[in-house]
């Protein structure tokens, strides 16, 4: 008797078919919008000063890409994102485990955190600038703030909902507190934590662009602001699309990482995929 893995290749090819079908369906809507937009622009229905055609935007895109300007701004934004996100992860996950594991601690910090959670990251930018200057630090601080709550709250939730029966198994095998956290709590909460990571990442991507729009001399947000100052609508759109595409790519990479790190996750997908 052995687990039947013979039909695996069959499954993979059918899942590739599934995925490509999904991608095609997902592209239908954007393609229709772009086509209508392009036609409207060519017929002169809209003023290119306000709404340039997709083809002229793509020309600008290629120009900016060719000159390296776009990559330069994108890279700066991504760098800030990395720093801020990693700091947030390093703070939020340990704190989340601690708060999730200790009920009294939860009672102490919950109200404060609920209050802070209501404040959008952007509202902190002026004070962060006052404290940390207009350099990188204030932007990174905004990102940390934006990523912190989703990661923290999901970690707490994940740790609270660890199956007490598994904790008891850990106890019966005499795990120390450290082993218990490492071998039972963290892997148990991993899926929920990952949801937090994804939310946190998209949160801080948005907060970052917000921060760059308000106060920065580099990065995608500032690229958009510069373009606005010169009334270059095509460049504004290039910036906007790049933000969206980069965000999609980051989320995609994180999801890939998730399924690589957690092969057992498949069991939760038994009901079918979405």
Residue 167: CB partners within 8 Å, gap ≥ 6? 180, 184
Shortest Å distance, C-beta 146 to other proteins? 29
Residue ranges in 10-29 that form contacts with other proteins under rule CB under 8 A: none
From the list 162, 163, 157, the residue with the least C-alpha distance to 194 is: 157
Residue with tokens 């229905």: 45
Instruction: State how far the Cα of 240 lies from the Cα of 231, in Å rounded to an integer.
Output: 15
Which region, judged by CB under 8 A, interacts with other proteins, from 49-57, 83-91, 187-195, 209-217? 187-195
**Rule CB under 8 A: is residue 178 a binding residue for other proteins?**
no
**Rule CB under 8 A: is residue 69 a binding residue for other proteins?**
no
Among 58, 160, 187, 240, binds other proteins (CB under 8 A): 187
From the list 202, 108, 92, 207, the residue with the least C-alpha distance to 157 is: 92
Task: Look at the alpha carbons of 205, 249, 217, 229 in this order and tell me if their dihedral is positive or negative.
Answer: negative
Which region, judged by CB under 8 A, interacts with other proteins, from 29-37, 142-150, 202-210, 259-267? 259-267
Among 168, 182, 245, 253, binds other proteins (CB under 8 A): 168
Q: Where does 133-182 have alpha helices with state H?
A: 136-160, 164-172, 177-180
Instruction: State how far the Cα of 4 lies from the Cα of 268, in Å rounded to an integer.
Output: 20
Instruction: State how far the Cα of 144 lies from the Cα of 139, in Å rounded to an integer.
Output: 9
Q: List the structure tokens of 3.
A: 């687990």
Nearer to other proteins, 190 or 213 (CB): 190
**Rule CB under 8 A: is residue 166 a binding residue for other proteins?**
yes
**Rule CB under 8 A: is residue 195 a binding residue for other proteins?**
no
Shortest Å distance, C-beta 177 to other proteins? 14
**Rule CB under 8 A: is residue 272 a binding residue for other proteins?**
no
Among 29, 174, 229, 273, binds other proteins (CB under 8 A): 174
Binding site for other proteins (CB under 8 A): 1-3, 165-166, 168-169, 171-174, 183-184, 187-188, 190, 262-264, 266-267, 270
């Amino acid at each position: 008797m052995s687990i039947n893995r013979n039909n695996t290749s069959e499954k993979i090819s059918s899942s590739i078919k599934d995925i490509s079908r999904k991608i095609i369906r997902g592209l239908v809507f954007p393609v229709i919008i772009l086509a209508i937009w392009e036609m409207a622009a060519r017929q002169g229905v809209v003023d290119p000063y306000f709404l340039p055609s997709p083809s002229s935007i793509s020309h600008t895109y290629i120009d900016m890409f060719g000159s390296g300007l776009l990559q330069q701004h994108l890279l700066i934004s991504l760098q800030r994102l990395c720093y801020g996100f990693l700091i947030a992860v390093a703070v939020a996950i340990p704190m989340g485990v601690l708060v999730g594991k200790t009920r009294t601690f939860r009672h102490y910090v919950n109200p404060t955190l609920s209050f802070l959670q209501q404040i959008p990251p952007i509202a902190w930018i002026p004070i962060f600038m006052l404290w940390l200057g207009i350099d990188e630090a204030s932007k990174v601080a905004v990102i940390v703030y934006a990523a912190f709550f989703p990661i923290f709250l999901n970690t707490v939730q994940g740790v609270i909902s660890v199956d007490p029966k598994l904790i008891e198994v850990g106890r019966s095998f005499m795990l120390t507190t450290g082993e218990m956290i490492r071998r039972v709590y963290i892997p148990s909460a991993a899926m929920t934590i990952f949801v937090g990571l994804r939310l946190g990442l998209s949160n801080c991507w948005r907060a970052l662009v917000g921060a760059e729009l308000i106060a920065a001399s580099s990065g995608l947000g500032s690229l958009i602001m510069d373009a606005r100052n010169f009334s270059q609508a095509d460049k504004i759109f290039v910036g906007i699309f790049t933000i969206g595409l980069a965000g999609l790519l980051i989320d995609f990479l994180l999801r890939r990482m998730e399924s690589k790190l957690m092969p057992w996750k498949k069991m939760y997908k038994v009901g079918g995929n979405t």
